[in-house]
Amino acid sequence: MPDKHISSQFDLELNALCSNLLEMGGLVESQTQEAMAAFTEMDLVRCEAVIAREKLVNAKEIEIDSGCTEIIAKRQPTARDLRLVMTA
């Protein structure tokens, strides 16, 4: 995030939000690739592994949602920051 805020803590919170989003995106990408491979090979064990790892993606989504709620409640973001948080 190129823009700096008066509160460096706010910057840290927004950066953490972006990092969590990227991490979740990476998890989803790998899950999709693994699911496609499991489907192509008709590998039931791989399918079950994909399903089991889905809990990680769900947990990350909940963490991101909680972080967004906390940022909105504590920081009352506006303009670009609010769009970022609402998109997340």
**Averaged pLDDT in 10-residue chunks for the chain of 88 residues:** 71 94 96 96 95 95 95 90 91
Residues near 3 by Cβ (< 8 Å), separated by ≥ 6?
Answer: 80
- Whether residue 75 is contained in a domain is answered as yes
| Model pTM score | 0.81
Give the per-residue pLDDT at 42: 95
**Cβ pair 88, 63 in contact under 8 A:** no
- Whether residue 20 is contained in a domain is answered as yes
Give the per-residue pLDDT at 78: 87
The domain that holds 63 is classified in CATH as 1.20.58.220
- Whether residue 71 is contained in a domain is answered as yes
Number of domains into which the chain is organized: 1
| Full domain range(s) for residue 74 | 8-87
